[in-house]
């Protein structure tokens, strides 16, 4: 967690930014002011950032972007950087390139998002990323990072015991049973195992509640959901298209996630333990994040 504050500056807190590491790849989610200082302090390898995902163009989610992109250039980055975000982020990136793009040795590729339903926007052998539209008064997207089902690992003892060939090992890794000429059947269930259960992480930034969200989050293991306001301030949350603690916890409960992480706290409240306590009345596995926290997904 690079930052957990909302729009107003708060001493000791930075604004929205997270770094997610999946199978050695680093992804930056939102880029609030001060993200470079946080990456440096927390020893996050900024040169290894694979892609950037921006939820929306409110300043507390993008004001760190120009500085970061410039620093990557000064550090000698050559790999292209893909930036995903709403269509209205495009002119901002174009402005940056027109004034500060000279001398950059890497390409910045903007991938505009649009649509009224979840859509896969990033797809590799191990991971897919889904963008889903949120309800924040301006175009805003959340993201689900979902591990794909891994190939099976073959038990080492079976290789020697049955003299497995490379072809047979490959079949078992794909979950296929082996039928030999002598009638022996080697099943994948016996000879192989799944190395891990795929996880899914959802980042739901600024949003007011809406009916489809919980259904879209089914299958997510860890959910980050903004909880800007304590309960009792539903009117303020609705006015600004944000969520309260109880609204965020209700989404986690209805989606059936394993764990809820909250952040994006209002500057009016200094004690984040209150946020956690309120959420836990609905969803006990809630954790109020602080700047610098690290979570195993």
| Residues acting as catalytic residues | 60
Rounded distance between C-alpha atoms, residue 110 and residue 90, angstroms: 7
- Measuring CA to CA, which residue among 145, 139, 141 is closest to residue 122? 145
Residue 37 DSSP SS3:
helix
C-beta of residue 261 within 8 angstroms of C-beta of residue 295? yes
Provide the pairing of β-strand 259-263 with 286-288. parallel
| Beta strand extents in the chain (DSSP E only) | 18-22, 25-29, 49-53, 81-86, 108-113, 119-123, 127-133, 141-147, 153-154, 178-179, 185-186, 192-193, 200-204, 222-226, 259-263, 286-288
Strand 286-288's sheet: what is its strand order?
119-123, 127-133, 141-147, 200-204, 222-226, 259-263, 286-288
Q: b/e map of 150-159 (b: 16 or more CB within 10 Å)?
A: eebebeeebe
Determine the angle formed by the axes of helices 65-74 and 90-100, rounding to 10 degrees: 40
Residue 125, token pair as written in the block: 């052998």
Residue 162 DSSP SS3:
helix
- Measuring CA to CA, which residue among 208, 211, 288, 207 is closest to residue 255? 211
Residue 148 DSSP symbol: P
């Amino acid at each position: 967690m690079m930052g957990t504050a909302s729009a107003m500056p708060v001493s000791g807190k930075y604004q929205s930014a997270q770094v997610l590491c999946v199978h050695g790849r680093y992804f930056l989610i939102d880029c609030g002011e001060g993200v470079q200082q946080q990456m440096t302090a927390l020893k996050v390898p900024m040169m290894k950032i694979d892609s950037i995902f921006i939820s929306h163009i409110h300043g507390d989610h993008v004001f760190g972007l120009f500085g970061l992109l410039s620093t990557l250039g000064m550090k000698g980055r050559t790999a292209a950087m893909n930036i995903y975000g709403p269509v209205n982020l495009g002119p901002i990136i174009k402005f940056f390139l027109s004034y500060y793009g000279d001398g950059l040795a890497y390409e910045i590729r903007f991938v505009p998002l649009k649509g009224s339903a979840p859509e896969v926007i990033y797809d590799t052998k191990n991971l897919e990323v889904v963008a889903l539209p949120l309800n924040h008064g301006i175009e805003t997207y959340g993201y689900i990072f979902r591990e794909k089902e891994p190939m099976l690992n073959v038990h080492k003892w079976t290789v020697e015991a049955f003299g497995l060939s490379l072809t047979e090992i490959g079949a078992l890794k794909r979950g296929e049973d082996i039928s030999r000429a002598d009638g022996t059947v080697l099943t994948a269930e016996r000879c192989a195992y799944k190395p891990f259960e795929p996880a899914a992480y959802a980042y739901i930034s600024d949003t007011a509640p809406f009916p489809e969200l919980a259904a879209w989050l089914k299958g997510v293991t860890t959910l980050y959901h903004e909880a800007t306001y304590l309960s009792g301030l539903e009117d303020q949350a609705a006015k600004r298209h944000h969520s309260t603690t109880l609204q965020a916890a209700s989404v986690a409960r209805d989606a059936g996630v394993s764990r809820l992480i909250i952040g994006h706290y209002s500057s009016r409240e200094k004690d984040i333990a209150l946020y956690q306590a309120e959420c836990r009345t609905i969803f006990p596995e809630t954790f109020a994040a602080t700047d610098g926290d690290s979570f195993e997904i």
